[in-house]
Amino acid sequence: MCRRQDGDMRFIVRLVVNAVALWLTTLLVPGVAVHAFGSAGAVETVLTYLLVAFVFGLVNAVIGTVIRVVAFPLYVLTLGLVSLVVNAVLLLIVAGISTGLGFGLDVRSFGWGVVGAFVLAVLGWLIGLVVRPVLRGRGRA
């Protein structure tokens, strides 16, 4: 029972970390924006960022895994730099899905997708560095 609660908590924390990283990315990268559904109040905006982060997590887990397996030789040849292109493609896929659902991510071009994916990855990593010790300390108590 405790393991399931820890897993649920990790999922929620990762979702919030990704949503915050996405929010900061939209503030820093002019070619990436999120359009809230509804009246665009504070609650709708937060829910939109959480939904886009959830969609991004699903796309990353399903489609991203397939792309990474297929493109493994390119990862080796480019020393991992192709990951910028892969993450930009995933960001564009999320933009298409979320726009099709009536809310969400807007990426102006592939170039902005590369910049946005890079910034999103760096911000997610930095926020994760801050949050990770808190989660580990919680699990030991």
- Per-residue pLDDT tens digits for 116-131: 999 999 999 999 899 8
Instruction: Say which amino acid occupies 42.
Output: A
Check if the beta carbon of residue 15 is closer than 8 Å to that of residue 127. Answer: no
- Give the chain's mean pLDDT: 89
Q: Is the pLDDT of residue 112 over 60?
A: yes
**How high is the pLDDT of residue 5?**
67
Which sequence spans correspond to the domains of the chain? 22-131
How far apart are the two ends of the chain, measured CA to CA in Å? Answer: 16
> What's the whole-model pTM score?
0.86
pLDDT tens for 72-110 read 999 999 998 999 999 999 999 999 999 898 888 999 999
List the Cα angle 99/102/110 in 5-degree steps: 10
